[in-house]
Chain A
Amino acid sequence: MQEITKINVRTWSMLGQKGTIGGIALPEIMDSYPNCFVLTADLGHTTGLDRIMSQYNERFINVGIAEQNLVGVAAGIAFDNNISVATTFATFLTMRCYEQIRHNLGYQRANVKLIGAMAGFSIGMFGNTHYSYEDIALMRAIPNMCVVAPADATEAYKMIYEAVKIEGPVYIRLSDSTNCGIVYKEDYNLEIGKAIKITDGSDGVIISYGGMVYECMKAMKILEEHGIFMKLINMHTIKPLDTKILDELSNENIIFTVEEHSVIGGIGSAISDYYSGFKKSPQIKRIGINDKFINPGEQQYVKKTNGIDNIGIANTIIKELAYGE
């Protein structure tokens, strides 16, 4: 594993999360784990696997445009004491072969790491058939699944290493393309299941994951100009939920959850579900896609027109803190 140097942080952010995982971390992992296989469903080039395809051919499987087979084959390989890493677009990976994920990974705990690339609307002009609003909701609902979403390329690099260390299925959501925002400028301790407090603040809490953490950091600059100081939590692990930090936050007045995902079934839902068992808990305000298919476009355009870019997030928070009950 490489050191998290300034140069790596910058280079990897240029490559983006999938470029970093596919082109940097996975080749290293293939060297360290002779029983690791990488699989894709005709999206090898698109999900950053060029080096794997050319240099690790004997442990690379391309099943073609056949996602059900992708997961089944990954499971069969894993059952023979191997690690399988299977990648394609998040929407196809989590929906076309959902049952295969449920039966093979959830129910029979096949040691498969699923990498859902281009989640949210990072795929831009390809439109709604390629967006994933529901992948977190779907993966969360399966027992024994671990569901994670790295905030930047450095976290993606560290995350895939953590994922191959644990025994059992993991879904890794990548919500970017190239040139993703930098959240972590230097090394830090990443533990699956342990959320990270990025900033402190007494006006409320923002909980986010994936590429939206960076968007929230930008939003917080706007909030600071308005004298609003928020705690920002990077909840890189949506399942298992870090209930310890939620317990610590249970006396807060308000938590804003921010995600490039439907408000149904994502982190907003997960946290609301958890707090619903409490006698007293924070107000939860969910920021995400409000149960609709959006007008498609480039990622930033889509975020802006749906109020989940930095300006939209900041406005929602300002309004809620000023006028909310």
Chain B
Amino acid sequence: MKEIDKMDIIRKNKLIDMACRMRRLAIEMAYAANKNGAHLGGGLSLIEIMAVLYGEVMNVDASQPNSENRDIFLLSKAHGVLAYYTALYEKGFISREDIDSFEKEGSDFIGHPIRNIEKGIEYSGGSLGMALSVAVGYALSFKMKKNERKVYVVLGDGECQEGSNWEAFFAAYKYKLNNLIIIIDNNGLQSDGKVEEISGISDLGQMIASFGGDVRVVDGHNVEELYNELMSEIGDSPKVIIANTIKGKGVSFMENNYVWHHGILSEKQFRDAMDEVTK
């Protein structure tokens, strides 16, 4: 694997710090949401992925949210807002006021993102299995216009049960959309329990690899591995990265526990969680 641009230790530590801040902020946001609760499990598993994408990889600029040269990010696993909003905040797209309005009456910052290009939010996700097709559309348009822009999509592993994703995969490979990068937050759990038990699917990577392209597997909490794969050489098909993650990562009572797909933190749980992530 040719390493285009290996990260030095300073940049790596910056990303790790960014992820730490995002994780802490995510837990604060979830607690501040009170009885509305939050999608903690799937938000926390996504933190490093979003940190690397927004911190290093994607060509996006909060001072030019409408730029015609920007990369497009679509959060198909749209309940991952705790990682998404915190990344947008880190990058300067949204304000502290926006963060503090999370799940409050009248807020635009609710449990699923609402499209707002000025704030860097490209798509109103929420219904699973929708955004990959839209990503294919963007990628096709970029190919037609012969520009260098890229489309990044994050899917959940449970989300891959939606058949509409596979319609999008067929098209992505048929049209050789090598400007499309798909990251799967492979945390092994979904709302009702283990992905493998509910769906019978144990190897998403093998299924996708059968389309003929390259599928890479990384530790989804290792910023360096994520970065290296995301920046690796482009082939002639979409780049698919299976990021093995832990649902609820960073908080011991949430890790690998499907009940925290969506939950409400008690005061004690909040304090315990903050202790763990503020090490």
Within 8 A of A (CB), among B167-193: 167-168, 170-171, 174-175
- A37 smallest CB distance to B (angstroms): 8
* Interchain CB contact under 8 A, A63 and B137: no
B-side residues, CB < 8 A to A, are: 115, 122-124, 126-127, 129-142, 144-145, 163-164, 167-168, 170-171, 174-175
Q: A63-B171, A79-B134 are in contact. Are A107 and B140 (CB under 8 A)?
A: no
Q: A64-B170, A68-B164, A72-B168 are in contact. Are A103 and B137 (CB under 8 A)?
A: no
- B76 smallest CB distance to A (angstroms): 10
Query: In whole angstroms, what is the CA distance A64 to B168 when docked?
Result: 11
Query: In whole angstroms, what is the CA distance A13 to B209 when docked?
Result: 49
* Interchain CB contact under 8 A, B134 and A104: yes
> What residues of A have a CB within 8 angstroms of the CB of B174 in the complex?
64
A–B pairs, 17, beta carbons within 8 Å: A37-B141, A64-B167, A64-B171, A68-B164, A69-B164, A69-B171, A72-B130, A72-B133, A72-B137, A72-B168, A73-B140, A76-B141, A77-B138, A80-B137, A80-B145, A104-B134, A108-B124
Query: In whole angstroms, what is the CA distance A132 to B163 when docked?
Result: 24
* Interchain CB contact under 8 A, A63 and B167: yes
Tell whether A100 is near chain B: CB-to-CB under 8 Å.
yes
Query: In whole angstroms, what is the CA distance A61 to B127 when docked?
Result: 24
Tell whether A71 is near chain B: CB-to-CB under 8 Å.
yes
* Interchain CB contact under 8 A, B171 and A59: no
> What residues of B have a CB within 8 angstroms of the CB of A246 in the complex?
none
Indicate which residue in A37, A69, A82, A84 contacts B136 across the interface (CB closer than 8 Å): A69
A-side residues, CB < 8 A to B, are: 37, 58-59, 61, 63-64, 66, 68-69, 71-80, 82, 84, 99-100, 103-104, 107-108
Indicate which residue in B126, B130, B135, B139 contacts A104 across the interface (CB closer than 8 Å): B130
Of A68, A100, A104, which is in contact with the most chain B CB atoms at under 10 Å from its CB? A68
Query: In whole angstroms, what is the CA distance A68 to B171 when docked?
Result: 12
- B111 smallest CB distance to A (angstroms): 15
- A136 smallest CB distance to B (angstroms): 24
Query: In whole angstroms, what is the CA distance A38 to B136 when docked?
Result: 15
Query: In whole angstroms, what is the CA distance A61 to B168 when docked?
Result: 13
* Interchain CB contact under 8 A, B124 and A76: no
> What residues of B have a CB within 8 angstroms of the CB of A84 in the complex?
137
Indicate which residue in A63, A66, A76, A107 contacts B134 across the interface (CB closer than 8 Å): A76
> What residues of B have a CB within 8 angstroms of the CB of A104 in the complex?
130, 134
> What residues of B have a CB within 8 angstroms of the CB of A61 in the complex?
140, 171, 175
Query: In whole angstroms, what is the CA distance A66 to B136 when docked?
Result: 13
* Interchain CB contact under 8 A, B167 and A76: no
Nearest CB in chain A to that of B174: its residue: A64
* Interchain CB contact under 8 A, A80 and B138: yes
* Interchain CB contact under 8 A, B127 and A73: no
